[in-house]
A and B are shown apart, each in its own frame.
Chain A
Amino acid sequence: EPEVTQTPSHQVTQMGQEVILRCVPISNHLYFYWYRQILGQKVEFLVSFYNNEISEKSEIFDDQFSVERPDGSNFTLKIRSTKLEDSAMYFCASSGPSGVGYGYTFGSGTRLTVV
């Protein structure tokens, strides 16, 4: 069964450093998303991406965050200057031609720890 692949599975970074989280969505999917889950809290939407541009972003997704689909296969989330409160599990997801009704497929996540 097709999978969404995320790398790395764990990342530890120092506060103020830039991090890039990488995702390879399912190949024929058209809609891409990032979510995060702070330990003990609910899964929160960050951003959706379609047709090479952001289609929606949440209040969490401020100027420190950016997304990119650099080569037609990868989908990345960049955090420019990490803060302690950015420590969370970050999930990438993608959905097919009919969008959310098709059902999202989530990756296994990247656990980001900011120290």
Chain B
Amino acid sequence: AQSVTQLGSHVSVSEGALVLLRCNYSSSVPPYLFWYVQYPNQGLQLLLKYTTGATLVKGINGFEAEFKKSETSFHLTKPSAHMSDAAEYFCAVSRGSTLGRLYFGRGTQLTVWP
């Protein structure tokens, strides 16, 4: 079965600081991994995804994530936080099949202080 754990329901950083949002997954098969961002009163926007190939994945808005199979992790990072990054971030895993449903973590609310 697939599941996702996001460590830290709230993360606060100063503008310009490193952003690190943690995601660990469990999967019985090679997973597809996703990060989504949700701004207030909006839908889920895909930040980046890992399916196969290079384990360091770059996404939109300067975010990147690294798939570490040995650690079953897919942490999201950004070198320098911007005020506009304040949002809720969701990690999700799929079974890696074409029809796969997504299993979401509980989300991490990112606050960026000026």
Contact = CB atoms under 8 A, between A and B. Distances in A.
Interface residues of A, number: 28
Given A107-B43, A108-B43, A100 B104 contact: no
A104 B102 contact: yes
Given A41-B106, A104-B46, A106-B36, 14 more contacts: A6-B43, A35-B102, A42-B107, A43-B90, A43-B104, A45-B103, A48-B101, A56-B101, A99-B97, A100-B94, A100-B96, A106-B46, A108-B42, A108-B43
B57 to A, nearest CB: 11
Contacts, number: 67
Nearest to A6: B43
Given A106-B43, A108-B43, A31 B98 contact: yes
A56 B99 contact: yes
Contacts of B43: 4, 6, 91, 106-109
